[in-house]
A and B are shown apart, each in its own frame.
Chain A
Amino acid sequence: MQSKVHVRTAINGEPAEFLCEPRQSLLECLRDLCNLTGTKEGCNDGNCGACTVEMDGRIVTSCLVLGVEAEGAQIGTVEGLARGTELHPLQKAFLENAALQCGICTPGFLVAAKALLEQEPEPSEARIRLWLANNLCRCTGYDKIIRAVQQAAREMKEARP
């Protein structure tokens, strides 16, 4: 048995700690040790994007990050999008545009799209498609996802002072 490593990190703005094996991925740590199962596993090799989380302002596929790398980092997951009972504009737009069917890829898309809109408040359709190209969805054909991101971008722009 390998000894475990004590990791101190911050998840969705709150300090968090966990004990993990050195080989465990951040995805496993979030899901199995922190009970944050909103982040999903689709492939465990960085190709589907379902496990996308924010790490120190960058989006990463958490299956390719080791849990120990989270030491001292700021981690953002789908569970941190809503403010209390108020959904994030992207979450609302995904619902209003029927941008999910089975919903397994949705957390990854939401986290990735949020990072995009924070960096580029008015992305073109082509830019959205490029940004989200690491997130696979097999249900929707992407059409309604792209439209939802466009709608959220418009609403977030209007909401800004």
Chain B
Amino acid sequence: MTKTEYQVVGTRPVRHDGADKVTGRALYGADFQMAGLLHGAILRSPHAHARIVRIDTAKALAYPGVKAVVTAADFPPAPDKLVDFGEGATPLAYVRGNVLASGKVLYRGHAVAGVAATSAHIAEEAAQLIEVEYEPLPCVLTAPEAMQPDAPILHDGLRTAELGEKAQGRSNISEHFRHILGDSKKGFAETDVVIEREFSTATVHQGYIEPHNATALWNNDGRVHIWCSTQGSFVVRDATACVLDIAQSRIRVTPMEIGGGFGGKIPVYLEPVAALLSRKTGRPVKILMTRKDVFEGTGPTPGSYIRVKIGATSDGKLVAAEAYLAYEAGAYPGAMVGPGGMCVFAAYDIPNVTIDGFDVVVNKPSTAAYRAPGATNAAFATETVIDELAEQLGIDPVEIRLRNAAKEGTRRADGPKFKRIGCVEVLEAVRGSEHYQSPLEGPNRGRGVAVGFWFNVGLPSSCTINVNADGTVNLVEGSTDIGGTRTSVAMQAAEVLGIPVEDVHPSVVDTDSVGFTAVTGGSRVTFSTGMAACEAAGDVIRQMKERAAKLWETVPDKVEAGRGSFRCNGHSATFKELAAKVGETGGPVVGRATVNPRGVGGSFSAAIADVEVDPETGKTTVLRFTSIQDAGKAIHPSYVEGQMQGGSVQGIGWGLNEEYYMSRDGMMMNSSLLDYRMPTSLDLPMIETIIVEVPNPGHPFGVRGVGEANIVPPPAALANAIYRAAGVRMRRLPMSPPAVMEAIWSK
């Protein structure tokens, strides 16, 4: 690909929603107000596993100010079926069961009932007056325990599925998959060094600062309007429709600004409850979660148990590998272990591979996606084993990765061959970086590297562009903007139209006002919605050529367009000049596009971490950190850097500190932001970034999504750094001070 000169792509304009967000004017879900608004609260289970014997709502209903109470009994009867809102097919009963428990509670924090009252305080007080009689059951909290034959069973009807076939007996294993490439047993026989290790990783939360929220109005015409902070307004529409068994078209979802999500704001929790409460009261109902609700009642990312075995020849060629991945789905199936299996060895060209994955239900909150879901757990295992192999073979850790790096044409263990990818280029950037080249001196200090991968997804996006007479355009899209995508999408439209990005006014609109658009997730918005914007802009250009042809009495094919101007036979007009004449040449110009693109480009990311480990306390301090990632083409480099920095720091938190600290009976002991200690500004250095650009041939500008892969390598890079600093190999996350001390003592 030749070096292309762009006018807009690659620049760093101020975001279109910037002024609203620094003045406090931007309206997030909790900021929504409406006349007659009632406030809701949710009653949650105090038990990790219990049968619900009886629910008595009488006292709550009699409490002054209370307008309605709902439980699972208020769901209309609906035949069970499989539903899919873009995160995999799930029985409707599970989706409903997680919104309001029916029959059993499956985790502490499981929603049992909802209350609507004239104030949030009254609703909270009334919720405590709902009497629920529980019959506590034994709970099971980790995948290895839940897989034991005598483990307490969460779902009587659950049978282990193996690609379309269900096993006979009851089990907590909802799915088993296997990938085999070549013959790993034979492969191991040809190796000189084999390393096999066991790992475990704790449940961690996405940790967005804005708690979940939803307001619903069940209107007198039978339509339901929902205002909420979500990664996918159409997911909320479709999921709420399924849960309430009403037609999708009866629900309109207006996405408010969203205060972080990272995968955790895809499922519905509050929306159907608010809708039911609104139907009972005839008034709009707003429900906000508390922080404790967020930790205990929404989906964190799975804890996991992993075994990885890798064999190499003495010259550092990886010949065989095996992985065993058991991920905790939480209360309902769907642990994202599939992507874990696809990513566990994705960075390497290994001819003989066997991967087994297990999706296991446990008595913890039902997990949700978290930035490259499943991949970080897996990379922690693989990347620390590769580091050990490099050490045993006396090969530089970057060099061993480069010798075995996956490239275009490498066959993955799950089958397909890689298209153009940037694994080699990312590793070369690591090796060539000032950070990697510079010495790290001092006692108790060490440097570690690791690499990670995320596939990214395409999925549908829709976009319309309306041309204004002053030469600006209004861009309408359905992708909720979680970190600046209004601008990264508008920039692509501006580039195609040949106008300044300030002349594109992007709006994220409700589900009645734009074509179906899938979630803001899978690193897809700049890629897919960007592509929709490019195509809609192309549609505008095509129509503008027709208008120019009318003015100049020629045919549209003879009009040339480029860089914001139109030319033909000595005539020329700028986009702006032509826009002023759309009225007289046939009326408004509206460009539109809907895409479901192929050509998704996966992204590789690497991390270099320098740490110092205090041998007295086991505390790890990050001295220097560099994130390296293939962006394909960075549309807005500052936002690409921001994704890399944010993902890196979430990875640092996951690696060093964060965990659901559970009591034996399944209570999260640290469900506040004080005790669930996410990284603060004081814990970190500046996060350096190196953007690598290996263009994705599947996108007009070469975009690869950059939202996720950056979280994958940090925990492993930190583990490798801690080894060099303190001489201990950490195989459990988090590598918190007590865990590091324990490892040092047992050295």
Contact = CB atoms under 8 A, between A and B. Distances in A.
A98 B23 contact: no
Contacts of B261: 102
A96 B258 CA distance: 21
B64 A1 contact: yes
Contact of A42 (B206, B291, B638): B291
A101 B525 CA distance: 14
A38 interface: yes
Given A21-B121, A43-B672, A103-B26, A141 B648 contact: yes
Nearest to B208: A138
A82 to B, nearest CB: 6
Contacts of B1: none
B681 A146 contact: yes
Contacts of A35: 33
B681 A95 contact: no
Contacts of B209: 40, 42, 48, 50, 102, 104-105, 136-138
Interface string B207-239: 111110000000000000000000000000000
Interface stretch (B14-22, B158-166, B182-190): B14-22
Given A79-B23, A129-B682, A139 B260 contact: yes
Nearest to B288: A41
A9 interface: no
Contact of A104 (B259, B288, B290, B672): B259
Interface string A12-31: 00000000010110000001
B454 interface: no
Most B C-beta atoms less than 10 A away, residue of A47, A98, A110, A129 = A98
B12 A129 contact: no
B449 interface: no
Main secondary structure of the interface of A (DSSP, over half): loop
Interface string B637-669: 011011001101110000000000000000000
Contacts of B84: none
Nearest to B684: A142
B31 interface: yes
B23 A38 contact: yes
A101 B22 contact: no
Given A23-B121, A136-B680, A144-B638, A82 B23 contact: yes
A101 B288 CA distance: 22
Nearest to B649: A141
A91 B33 contact: no
Q: Which of B121, B288, B649, B680 has the most CB of A within 10 A?
A: B680
A103 B64 contact: no
A81 interface: yes
B673 interface: yes
Interface in B1-45: 12, 14-15, 17-19, 21-28, 30-31, 33
Interface residues of A, number: 60
Nearest to B639: A98
B482 interface: yes
Contact of B23 (A42, A50, A78, A143): A78
A153 interface: no
Nearest to B485: A101
B259 A37 contact: no
Contacts of A50: 209-210
A103 B648 contact: no
Nearest to A38: B24
B326 interface: no
By DSSP majority rule, is chain B's interface helix, strand, loop, or mixed?
A: loop
B649 to A, nearest CB: 3
Given A38-B25, A138-B678, A95 B18 contact: yes
Given A87-B19, A103-B257, A144-B645, A47 B681 contact: no
A104 B210 contact: yes
Given A38-B25, A136-B209, A102 B642 contact: no
A40 B259 contact: yes
Contacts of B207: 138
B259 A102 contact: yes
A129 to B, nearest CB: 4
Contacts of B136: none
Contacts of B21: 100, 103, 106
A77 interface: yes
Given A42-B209, A42-B210, A44-B291, A87 B262 contact: no
A95 B15 contact: yes
A10 interface: no
B681 A128 contact: yes
A132 interface: yes
Contacts of B26: 103
Nearest to B710: A141
A141 B684 contact: yes
Given A44-B291, A128-B681, A146-B681, A140 B210 contact: no
A91 B44 CA distance: 40
B743 interface: no
A102 B258 CA distance: 6
Interface string B239-262: 000000000000000000111111
A95 B483 contact: no
Nearest to B650: A138
Interface in B121-158: 121
B642 A43 contact: no
A50 B259 CA distance: 11
A101 B679 CA distance: 17
Nearest to B207: A138
A94 B22 contact: yes
A143 to B, nearest CB: 5
A143 B261 CA distance: 20
Contact of B645 (A48, A132, A143): A143
Nearest to B638: A98
A68 interface: no
B674 interface: yes
A107 interface: yes
B590 interface: no
A5 interface: no
B393 interface: no
A139 B642 contact: yes
A48 B673 contact: yes
A39 interface: yes
Smallest CB-CB A-B distances: 4 pairs: A38-B24, A104-B259, A141-B649, A101-B483
29 contacts: A36-B24, A37-B30, A40-B28, A40-B259, A41-B30, A42-B259, A44-B291, A50-B209, A81-B22, A81-B23, A87-B22, A87-B23, A95-B18, A101-B482, A101-B484, A101-B642, A102-B257, A136-B209, A136-B673, A137-B209, A138-B207, A138-B209, A138-B260, A141-B649, A141-B650, A141-B687, A142-B645, A143-B686, A144-B645
Interface of B: 12, 14-15, 17-19, 21-28, 30-31, 33, 64-65, 121, 206-211, 257-262, 288, 290-291, 482-484, 636, 638-639, 641-642, 645-646, 648-650, 672-674, 678-682, 684, 686-687
Given A98-B15, A129-B684, 12 more contacts: A31-B30, A38-B24, A44-B290, A44-B291, A48-B291, A50-B209, A91-B22, A105-B209, A132-B680, A138-B260, A138-B262, A141-B679
